[in-house]
């Protein structure tokens, strides 16, 4: 007979609801925890949450609290501590019920209340890829809650369940949540080493964003399962016998890779499903690290390893803590197979990253932060107030799927970098100051260009100079977020400094010329009338051409406007001339720069520099026809980059051909003027009623030129427009 009182006070009768017992079963106890205490506390939380969410329903029609239990269960399976699991159970109470932070604090303590509070804050932000501002909010919030990594881990459990049940959502919301998961949660999970979460989320996102592709892979995986298992078992047998000879009893299993990673490979390598050999990997799980190496030796003894596919992440773990040995072998029938060898502990770290063994560690997150170098770096970058949301999104996305390489300082210190890294990345990785003053580099004792790609095992020596400053050109080749971010910051700072100085100069000079020097202060202090927070940002705006002195007069001294020189041109020319160098050479300053007469490059064109004897560097378009003549002296070619700030106008020759009619030239030149572009010369000839005009126009860059050429092409009776000197 069921006891009716048992339902009310199940702790005395041991008749808990089934889902509570399940959760209790999943919990692992910390070293100084007693099962009964945990049970009592967990029941209190269960009951509290259940009561608060009473009557609320999920879109699926299930009681809302079932979601909270699912989140708590996930956290329990990740071996999180009891407080975190309870926070999972109550994660939506502040947001969706009448409970207050004080209620939580009084009932379950400070730590729990602050975890739930952190989650609530995180929830207030909705990320939308269209709105950078929201990404910015997300970034700030992440920073504030990252004091305790557990908030993010709970958020992952929450997101995982929401993604699993996403089919009940309306289409638009589904899409938004999937994109947010793809852009923020998946990169974060990767960086925190939570690869099981990452691949689960990836497949769920894949299913929402590309249901057809998902179904295709799913069906194919299913239908090829038998065959794959047979192959894996064939590979396993001899390995097992050998390992048993050495008294090692491994756990071995084949594991299909995630649908999204298989699909990604099909796309990126342009292969069909059947052509991808690494659909699954074989894992060998042993007890001790040294057994990993023994197992590796035995595996290589049985099967031929594929050269260059061997990686030892035990000796040198990935930055997110991942440890394992990877090797690819040629199995029966010549089929290749990736084998991953690791210990049980490494396995757990690989699957749930920072969350692994949490319950056995000190629950204070600061200890764990030390192991998550990337997260520390991200936080450092975020703390810098000048980081903008767009950069932050880049930081999250960057090196997500990059492999890591290992290089050494001359003193033998190991530096880990994403593959494709250059000496500049290396320098910034060693220390920000080393990066800032990086002048040159030697790899394995040989001087190399700064854009050289570092290879595994290289010894990299950075040559520094106090006078050296980061160059814009570096942005073209650096791959680490740290280097990119520091360079951006430096350039922005320099640019701001220069604009402020120029802005002040422009303002003061204009006022002096108008004999209004006594009003300078009034103008300088009027920044709030133009919507600027302080004097510096207003001067910055003047210096970068956003705010004109004319506009200031219109507002502050409308009567004195006539005194202004008729054309602002004098001021504008100043701005243009301010940026002296149109091209930036990697690390080389004060060099004479000419433009190739043959191809007349303009900003935006792909360019390359050729070091001439005694006449500095001549810049050509990369596609310039005269370059092949020079290329036998390819050691004199240097990479150059347009200085994006250059605003000077460049002459470009255009050839326009079309059927002649009255007003042909007028139409062409009107079209050009409409684009606000100057024509500096025209030469027209008509032959057999075909008009051929050679024009020289002045444009800032090739974007503007291309737009102009499109516009001219659209005019009637124009046959074609061509840029001359290609
Ligand atoms: Mn939730």
Mean pLDDT, range 24-37, rounded to an integer: 82
> Sorting pLDDT into bands at 50, 70 and 90, what band is 619?
confident
Buried b (16+ CB within 10 A) or exposed e, 667-698: bbeebbeeeebeeeebeeeeeeeebebebbbe
CA of 92 to the centre of ligand 1 (A): 6
Centre of ligand 1 from the C-alpha of residue 160, in Å:
10
- Per the CB < 8 A criterion, the answer to whether 72 and 86 are in contact is yes
Kindly give the distance from the C-alpha atom of residue 392 to the centroid of ligand 1, in angstroms, as a whole number: 25
Nearest to 163 by CA among 141, 180, 143: 180
Ligand 1 centroid–CA 65 distance in Å is 9
- Residue 33 CA to ligand 1 center (angstroms) comes to 27
Cα 162 to ligand 1 centroid, rounded to whole Å = 7
- Neighbour-count burial of 638, counting CB atoms closer than 10 A to its CB (0-12 exposed, 13-18 middle, 19+ buried): middle
In this model, does residue 330 exceed pLDDT 80? Answer: yes
- Looking at 352-361, 362-371, 712-721, which range is the least confident one? 362-371
Tell me how long the chain is. 726
> What does the block give as tokens for 313?
């992440």
pLDDT tens digits, residue range 396-405? 554 444 566 7
At residue 188, the pLDDT reads 77
* Two structure tokens written together for 184: 């923020």
Distances from the Cα of 310 to the Cαs of 123, 237, 315, 621, in angstroms? 42, 22, 13, 42
The mean pLDDT value for 493-503 works out to 76
497: three-class secondary structure by DSSP: helix
C-alpha 107 to ligand 1 mean position (Å):
21
Mark residue 333 as left, alpha or beta (left: phi above 0; alpha: psi -120 to 50; beta: remaining). left
Looking at the domain that runs over 650-723, which CATH code has it been given?
3.30.70.260
Of 399-413, 597-611, 660-674, the poorest mean pLDDT is in: 399-413
Domain covering 218-357, topology: Beta Polymerase; domain 2 (3.30.460)
Residue 250, phi then psi, degrees to nearest 5: -80, 160
Question: Has residue 334 got a pLDDT over 60?
Answer: yes
Pairing status of strand 446-448 against strand 438-443: antiparallel
Measured in angstroms, how far is the CA atom of residue 687 from the centroid of ligand 1?
Answer: 76
Q: How far is the CA of 285 from the centre of ligand 1 (A)?
A: 35
Q: Cα(681) to centroid of ligand 1, in Å?
A: 68
For residue 157, report the distance from its CA to the centre of ligand 1, in Å. Answer: 9
CA of 675 to the centre of ligand 1 (A): 53
pLDDT at residue 49, rounded to an integer: 92
Please say if the pLDDT value at position 11 is more than 80.
no
CA–CA dist 314, 296 (Å, integer): 12
pLDDT score at 662: 77
The pLDDT, as a whole number, for residue 582 is 47
For range 214-240, the mean pLDDT: 89
pLDDT (0 to 100) of residue 570: 35
| pLDDT, mean over the chain | 78
Instruction: State mean pLDDT over 248-272.
Output: 82
Q: How far is the CA of 67 from the centre of ligand 1 (A)?
A: 7
pLDDT category of residue 356 using cuts at 50, 70 and 90? low
pLDDT in tens, 514-523: 777 788 888 8
DSSP string, 210-276: -HHHHHHHHHHHHHTHHHHHHHHHHHHHHHHHHHHHTT---EEEEEEPPHHHHHHHHHHTT--GGG-
Output the CA 158–ligand 1 centroid distance in Å: 5
**Span from the CA of 156 to the centroid of ligand 1 (angstroms):** 10
User: Residue 42 C-alpha to ligand 1 middle, in angstroms?
Assistant: 18
CA angle 276, 278, 280 (to 5 degrees): 125
Q: Which of 264-278, 426-440, 656-670 has the highest mean pLDDT?
A: 426-440
pLDDT at residue 716 is higher than 70: yes
C-alpha distances in angstroms, 140 versus 123, 150, 485, 559?
A: 13, 17, 17, 46
Percent of the chain topping pLDDT 70: 78
According to DSSP, residue 446 is labeled E
Please tell me the distance between residue 91's alpha carbon and the centre of ligand 1 in angstroms: 6
Across 54-59, average pLDDT:
88
Q: Where are the domains of the chain?
A: 4-214, 218-357, 370-474, 480-544, 565-647, 650-723
pLDDT at 13 over 80: no
**Which tens digits make up the pLDDT trace of 61-93?**
899 999 999 999 999 988 888 888 999 999 999
Residue 660: is its pLDDT beyond 90?
Answer: no
- Is 60 exceeded by the pLDDT of residue 680? yes
Instruction: Please give the helix or strand (H or E) that residue 291 lies within, else none.
Output: helix 289-302
What confidence tens digit (pLDDT) does each residue in 584-601 have?
544 333 345 667 777 778
Indicate whether 299 pLDDT > 90: yes
Token look-up 């802005």 returns 503
pLDDT at 347 over 50: yes
Overall average pLDDT of the 677-698 stretch = 83
15 C-alpha to center of ligand 1: Å? Answer: 27
* C-alpha span between 473 and 65 (Å, rounded): 55
Centroid of ligand 1 to alpha carbon of 394 (angstroms): 27
pLDDT tens digit string along 532-590? 888 888 888 777 667 777 778 878 887 777 766 544 333 332 222 223 344 554 433 33
Mean predicted confidence (pLDDT) in 358-386: 53
Give the integer Cα–Cα distance in Å for 394 and 89: 33
Which range, of 216-230, 524-538, 575-589, 640-654, averages the lowest pLDDT? 575-589
Higher pLDDT, 688 or 379: 688
Residues contacting 171, CB < 8 A, separation 6+: none
Residue 111, pLDDT > 60, answer yes
CATH number (3.30.460.80, 2.40.50.180, 1.10.3210.10, 2.40.50.140) of 4-214 reads 1.10.3210.10
Tens digits of residue pLDDT in 437-484: 998 899 988 888 898 999 877 889 999 988 888 887 788 889 888 898
> pLDDT category, 166, cuts 50, 70, 90?
very high
Residue 222 above 90 pLDDT? no
- Of 3.30.565.10, 3.10.20.30, 3.30.1950.10, 3.20.20.150, the CATH number of 370-474 is 3.10.20.30
Give the lowest-confidence range in 5-14, 118-127, 395-404: 395-404
* Distance from residue 185's CA to the centre of ligand 1 (Å): 15
Q: Residue 579 is encoded by which pair of tokens? A: 């940026």
pLDDT in tens, 406-424: 788 888 777 878 888 999 9
What is the pLDDT at residue 34?
82
Q: Is the pLDDT of residue 178 over 60?
A: yes
Ligand 1 centre to CA of 260 (Å) is 25
User: Which residues, other chains included, contact 578 with Cβ-Cβ below 8 Å and sequence gap of 6+?
Assistant: 498, 502
As given in the structure block, the two tokens for residue 302 are: 């049985």
pLDDT of residue 129: 45
> Is 70 exceeded by the pLDDT of residue 393?
no
| pTM score above 0.75 | no
What's phi and psi for 457, nearest 5 deg? 85, -5
Compute the distance between CA of residue 557 and CA of residue 693 in angstroms, rounded to an integer: 48
pLDDT value of position 599: 78
Q: How far is the centre of ligand 1, averaged over its atoms, from the C-alpha of 74 (Å)?
A: 12
Distance 9 CA to ligand 1 centre (A): 27
Three-state SS across 107-142? HHCHHHHHHHHHHHHHHCCCCCCCCHHHHHHHHHHH
Question: Catalytic residue positions?
Answer: 95-96
**pLDDT score recorded for residue 371:** 46
Question: What mean pLDDT comes out for the span 481-502?
Answer: 80
């Amino acid at each position: 007979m069921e006891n009716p009182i048992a339902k009310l006070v199940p702790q005395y009768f041991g008749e808990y609801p089934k889902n509570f017992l399940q959760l209790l079963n999943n919990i692992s106890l910390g070293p100084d925890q007693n099962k009964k205490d945990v049970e009592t506390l967990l029941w209190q939380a269960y009951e509290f949450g259940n009561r608060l969410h009473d009557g609320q329903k999920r879109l699926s029609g299930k009681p809302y609290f079932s979601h909270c239990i699912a989140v708590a269960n996930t956290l329990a399976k990740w071996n999180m501590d009891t407080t975190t699991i309870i926070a999972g159970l109550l994660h939506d109470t502040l947001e969706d019920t009448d409970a207050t932070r004080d209620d939580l604090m009084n009932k379950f303590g400070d730590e729990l209340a602050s975890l739930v509070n952190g989650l609530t804050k995180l929830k207030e932000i909705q990320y939308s890829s269209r709105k950078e501002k929201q990404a910015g909010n997300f970034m700030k919030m992440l920073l504030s809650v990252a004091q305790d990594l557990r908030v993010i881990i709970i958020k992952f459990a929450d997101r995982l369940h929401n993604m699993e049940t996403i089919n009940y959502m309306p289409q638009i919301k589904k899409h938004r949540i999937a994109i947010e998961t793809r852009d923020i949660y998946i990169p974060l999970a990767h960086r925190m080493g939570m690869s099981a979460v990452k691949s689960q989320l990836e497949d769920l996102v894949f299913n929402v964003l590309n249901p057809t592709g998902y179904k295709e892979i799913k069906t194919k995986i299913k239908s090829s399962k038998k065959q794959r298992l047979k192959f894996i078992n064939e590979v396993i047998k001899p390995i097992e016998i050998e390992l048993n000879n050495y008294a090692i009893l491994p756990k071995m299993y084949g594991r299909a890779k995630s649908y999204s990673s298989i699909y990604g490979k099909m796309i990126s390598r342009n292969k069909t499903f059947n052509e991808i050999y690494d659909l699954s990997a074989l894992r060998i799980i042993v007890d001790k690290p040294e057994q990993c190496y023994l197992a590796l030796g035995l595996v290589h003894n049985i099967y031929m390893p594929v050269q260059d596919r061997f990686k030892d992440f035990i000796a040198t773990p990935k930055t997110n803590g991942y440890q394992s040995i990877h090797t690819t072998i040629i199995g029966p029938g010549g089929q290749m197979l990736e084998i991953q060898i690791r210990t049980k502990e490494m396995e757990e770290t690989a699957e749930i990253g920072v969350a692994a063994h949490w319950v056995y560690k000190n629950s204070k997150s600061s200890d764990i932060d030390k192991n998550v170098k990337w997260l520390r770096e991200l936080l450092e970058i975020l703390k810098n107030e000048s980081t903008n949301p767009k950069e932050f999104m880049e930081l999250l996305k960057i090196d997500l799927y990059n492999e890591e390489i290992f290089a050494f300082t001359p003193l033998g210190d190991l530096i880990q970098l994403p593959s494709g890294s250059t000496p500049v990345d290396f320098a910034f990785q060693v220390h920000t100051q080393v990066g800032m003053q990086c002048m040159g580099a030697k790899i394995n004792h040989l001087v190399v260009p700064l854009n050289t790609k570092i290879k595994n095992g290289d010894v990299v020596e950075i040559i520094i100079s106090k006078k050296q400053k980061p160059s814009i050109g570096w942005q073209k080749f650096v791959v680490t977020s740290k280097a990119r971010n520091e360079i951006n910051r430096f350039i922005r700072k320099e640019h701001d400094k220069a604009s402020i100085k120029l802005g002040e100069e422009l303002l003061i000079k204009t006022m002096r010329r108008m004999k209004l020097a006594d009003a300078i202060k009034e103008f300088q202090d009027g920044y709030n009338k133009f919507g600027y927070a302080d004097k510096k940002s207003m001067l910055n705006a003047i210096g970068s051409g956003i705010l004109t002195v004319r506009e200031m007069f219109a507002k502050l001294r409308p009567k004195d406007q006539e005194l202004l020189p008729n054309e602002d041109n004098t001021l504008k020319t100043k701005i243009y001339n301010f940026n002296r160098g149109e091209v930036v050479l990697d690390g080389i300053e004060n060099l004479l720069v000419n433009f190739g007469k043959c191809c007349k490059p303009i900003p935006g064109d792909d360019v390359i520099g050729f070091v001439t004897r005694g006449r500095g560097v001549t810049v050509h378009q990369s596609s310039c026809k005269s370059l092949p003549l020079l290329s036998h002296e390819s050691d004199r070619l240097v990479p150059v980059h347009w200085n994006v700030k250059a605003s000077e106008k460049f002459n470009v020759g255009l050839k326009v051909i079309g059927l002649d009619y009255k007003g042909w030239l007028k139409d062409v030149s009107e079209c050009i003027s409409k684009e606000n572009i100057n024509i500096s010369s025209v030469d027209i000839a008509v032959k057999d009623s075909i008009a051929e005009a050679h024009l020289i126009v002045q444009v800032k860059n090739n974007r503007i030129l291309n737009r102009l050429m499109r516009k001219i092409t659209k005019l009637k009776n124009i046959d074609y427009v061509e840029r001359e000197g290609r």
